[in-house]
């Protein structure tokens, strides 16, 4: 009966399947009792019979989890034979099949990370995000496997997923030899991936079980690509045991600050140190936004209502003295007093200049910080446009209320600060867009699988 069932699976005849089940209703049940067995689903997956494989999986779902004598599940065989239709059918009915562990604990997610199929990789991450934590018997993550097989598209998809789910720490996971993703990218001559890893703030000072850092691996050969990688690592101030004494803690301390620098450069930590570094990136971003908004609000209010207030009347020394002479015959009343216009600030010009330079720097800097934090979020281009309008309104409001004697100098300084801020507010989002467009796999991933980001566009 089993042989008849296997022949049916090879030919993909659903009617014959039910005929066999009519003769022996327990045939699938008996197969399910065997721990390691070649099931009809395996045979159908190898033969490309999608409908029959899904029919049997619907009748007996546990058979889809079985491994055959070669250590493969039906989903692994479907992937191996390029039957993407069956693969998608499997994961739609049971998403956890993405985590089924075949020989050497390789999951379907591990398998597609090694092949040039970034679309399927993105779909697997969509239906089963937790599968990213699975490792092989060699303690290799999906990131390790993608880099080892020089699959740049898969790496870009993984990088986008990890960034948007605050899982960048997976980049620092080590395999059985103590190698991180950076070690592997360096040893396999992949400077492009090294560049991406350095931008994520990966730990550049980690040593593998051989006691080597990524810099030391890069310095060990004369290959031209290795030299390019070495330049990238030196630019990131990576640690090299060849140039430092092993007992000297300075390189490790230096590497820690370099890591913080890269986090600052990516706009995620922006100077928050100490205990805040233990927070998740989303928590840190929330803290930054709250503090920046408070500072920006205080600075904006101080700019509109400066200490000392503003004049409520018009005063011209010549006109006011003439009126006094005519009415009271009192010469010199108001003598030496400077003229002013209603709405002008009363503060002493010197202190006024110092106050507004510092206040404007605080306001524009915090506004730019807010823009950096919101880059990449939904509707961020609209928010950047609104920010530009706010900066312009602040500048016009302040510039029109300066006293006449400080207008030229202070106005020029504020105009320079305003110009730099506008450039940053516009340039930073454009740079983020340029980097995103460069990551073609990431763009495709975001367009097709928005659920991974946890954001409804």
Tens digit of each residue's pLDDT (9 = 90 or more) over 319-378 = 555 544 444 444 444 444 566 666 677 777 777 778 878 888 888 888 888 887 777 677
DSSP bridge pairs for 324: none
Provide mean pLDDT across the span 246-274: 44
Of the candidates 437, 296, 276, the residue with the CA atom closest to the CA atom of residue 371: 296
Domains of the chain, by residue range, sit at 177-266, 282-309+346-453, 311-344
Provide mean pLDDT across the span 421-435: 64
13: left (phi over 0), alpha (psi -120 to 50) or beta: beta
Residues 218 and 257: their CA atoms lie apart, in Å, by 21
Residues 396 and 411: their CA atoms lie apart, in Å, by 10
306: left (phi over 0), alpha (psi -120 to 50) or beta: beta
Q: Is the pLDDT of residue 271 over 60?
A: no
Confidence (pLDDT) at 229: 65
- Alpha-carbon separation of residue 295 from 111, 266, 393 (angstroms): 50, 22, 18
Q: Is the pLDDT of residue 256 over 60?
A: no
Residues 457 and 447: their CA atoms lie apart, in Å, by 10
Q: How far is CA 295 from the centre of its chain?
A: 26
Reading the block at residue 409, the tokens are 């100098």
Tens digit of each residue's pLDDT (9 = 90 or more) over 80-125 = 999 999 999 999 989 999 999 999 999 999 999 998 788 999 999 9
Residues 227 and 221: their CA atoms lie apart, in Å, by 8
H helices present in 208-348, as ranges: 214-219, 224-235, 250-265, 281-304, 317-328
Residues 273 and 379: their CA atoms lie apart, in Å, by 29
Confidence (pLDDT) at 360: 82
Residues 13 and 52: their CA atoms lie apart, in Å, by 7
15-19, 38-42, 207-211, 315-319: segment of lowest average pLDDT: 315-319
Q: Which residues, 6 or more positions from 90, have their beta carbon under 8 angstroms from its beta carbon?
A: 54, 57, 64, 74, 75, 78, 97
Q: What pTM, to 2 d.p., does this model score?
A: 0.56
Burial class of residue 143 (count of CB atoms within 10 Å of its CB; 0-12, 13-18, 19+): buried
Reading the block at residue 233, the tokens are 């690592």
Of all residues in the chain, the percent with pLDDT exceeding 70 is 67
Tens digit of each residue's pLDDT (9 = 90 or more) over 372-402 = 777 767 777 777 778 788 878 877 777 777 6
40-49, 86-95, 240-249: segment of lowest average pLDDT: 240-249
H or E, element range at 361: helix 349-374
Confidence (pLDDT) at 366: 86
Provide mean pLDDT across the span 264-283: 48
Confidence (pLDDT) at 398: 75
Residues 144 and 254: their CA atoms lie apart, in Å, by 26
Q: How many helices (H) and strands (E) in the chain? A: 22, 0
Cα three-residue angle 226-230-232, rounded to 5 degrees: 120
Confidence (pLDDT) at 234: 65
Residues 448 and 188: their CA atoms lie apart, in Å, by 30
Looking up tokens 């404007």 gives 360
DSSP bridge pairs for 36: 67
Provide mean pLDDT across the span 295-321: 73
Q: Residues 177-266: name the CATH superfamily.
A: Ankyrin repeat-containing domain (1.25.40.20)
Confidence (pLDDT) at 58: 92
């Amino acid at each position: 009966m089993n042989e008849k069932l296997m022949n049916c699976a090879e030919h993909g005849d659903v009617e014959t399947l039910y005929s066999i089940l009519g003769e022996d209703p327990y045939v699938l049940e008996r197969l399910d009792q065997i721990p390691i067995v070649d099931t009809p689903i395996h045979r159908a997956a190898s033969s490309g019979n999608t409908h029959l494989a899904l029919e049997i999986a619907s009748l007996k779902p546990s058979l889809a989890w079985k491994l055959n004598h070669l250590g493969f599940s039906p989903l692994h065989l479907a992937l191996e034979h390029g039957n993407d239709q069956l693969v998608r059918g499997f994961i739609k009915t049971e998403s956890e099949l993405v985590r089924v562990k075949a020989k050497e604990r390789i999951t379907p997610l591990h398998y597609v990370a090694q092949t040039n199929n970034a679309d399927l990789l993105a779909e697997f991450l969509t239906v089963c995000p937790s599968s990213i934590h699975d490792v092989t018997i060699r303690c290799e993550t999906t990131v390790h496997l993608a880099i080892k097989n020089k699959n740049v598209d898969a790496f870009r998809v993984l990088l986008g997923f990890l960034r948007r789910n605050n899982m960048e720490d997976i980049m620092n996971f080590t395999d059985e030899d103590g190698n991180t993703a950076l070690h592997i990218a360096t040893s396999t001559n992949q400077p492009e991936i090294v560049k991406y890893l350095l931008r994520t703030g990966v730990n550049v000072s980690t040593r593998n079980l051989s006691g080597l850092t990524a810099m030391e691996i890069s310095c060990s050969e004369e290959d031209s690509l290795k030299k390019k990688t070495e330049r990238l690592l030196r630019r990131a101030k990576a640690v090299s045991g060849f140039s430092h004494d092993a007992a000297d803690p300075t390189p490790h301390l230096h590497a820690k600050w370099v890591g913080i620098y890269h986090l600052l450069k990516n706009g995620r930590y922006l100077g928050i140190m100490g205990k805040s570094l233990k927070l998740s990136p989303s928590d840190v971003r929330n803290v930054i936004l709250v503090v920046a908004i408070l500072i920006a609000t205080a600075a904006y209010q101080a700019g509109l209502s400066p200490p000392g207030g503003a004049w409520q009347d018009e005063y011209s020394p010549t006109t006011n003295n003439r009126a006094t002479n005519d009415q009271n015959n009192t010469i010199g009343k108001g003598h030496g007093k400077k003229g002013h216009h209603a709405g002008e600030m009363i503060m002493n010009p010197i202190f006024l200049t110092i106050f507004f330079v510092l206040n404007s720097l605080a306001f524009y800097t915090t506004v730019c910080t807010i823009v950096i934090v919101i880059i990449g979020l939904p509707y961020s281009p609209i928010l950047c446009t609104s920010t530009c309008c706010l900066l312009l309104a602040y500048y016009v409001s302040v510039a029109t209320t300066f006293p006449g004697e400080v207008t030229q100098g202070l106005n020029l300084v504020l105009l320079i600060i305003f110009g730099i801020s506008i450039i940053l507010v516009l340039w930073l989002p454009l740079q983020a867009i340029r980097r995103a467009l460069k990551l073609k796999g990431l763009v495709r991933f975001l367009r097709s699988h928005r659920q991974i980001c946890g954001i409804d566009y």
